[in-house]
Amino acid sequence: MQSLSHLFEWSQNTWLANAIHGSTWLFPAIETAHILGLTVLLGTVLAIDLRLLNLVMPNYRVSLLAKNLAPWTWTGLAVSVLTGVPMLCSEALKCYGNDAFRAKMVILLMAIVFHVTAFRRVTSEGAKIAPAWGRLTAVLSLALWYGVGVTGRAIGFI
């Protein structure tokens, strides 16, 4: 873990971090884009998960919904990651010692891995799964992605 402290210290002293520190509006603008990206990501995941739970759109194929929302889901994730990096750089040492930040990174990795493996398999065209597996997938998906949001929000309070 000691070796990571040098990376965090370096990132907090980059030109990007200094630009953000030197600006009144830059961090709030980046954070706003970050939250909008997360909102798009979570909104699309919520729609698919509610369909897997058979709570909405019962006549709409899960695979078609997932296919149609995939560009929005990945765009939301990309915006969140691309705006998260400069936010991290500007507060790297604060994040380094923050348990909520560490939890967010672990849950984020788990959510992405889950999304590209189990979730993708359950929502793929022609997937033959028992309804119970679909519901379990939806619950796990919701728990992971909302865990990312909750732990991200907790960073400012811990």
User: According to the model, what pLDDT value does residue 127 have?
Assistant: 78
> Which of 37-40's residues contact partners 24+ apart within 8 Å by CB, and which partners?
37/75, 37/76, 37/77, 37/78, 37/79, 37/80, 37/82, 37/83, 38/76, 38/80, 38/148, 38/149, 38/152, 39/76, 40/72, 40/73, 40/75, 40/76, 40/79
User: According to the model, what pLDDT value does residue 31 have?
Assistant: 94
User: According to the model, what pLDDT value does residue 3 have?
Assistant: 75
Give yes or no for a contact between 4 and 93, defined as CB atoms under 8 angstroms apart.
no
Domain positions in the chain: 2-157
Give yes or no for a contact between 32 and 40, defined as CB atoms under 8 angstroms apart.
no
User: According to the model, what pLDDT value does residue 2 have?
Assistant: 59
Angle between helices 131-154 and 99-114 (to 10 degrees): 150
pTM of this structure:
0.89
In tens digits, what is the pLDDT along the chain, a chain of 158 residues? 557 888 898 999 999 999 998 899 999 999 999 999 999 999 999 999 999 999 999 899 999 999 999 999 999 999 999 999 999 999 998 999 899 999 999 999 999 999 999 999 999 888 787 888 999 999 999 999 999 999 999 998 87
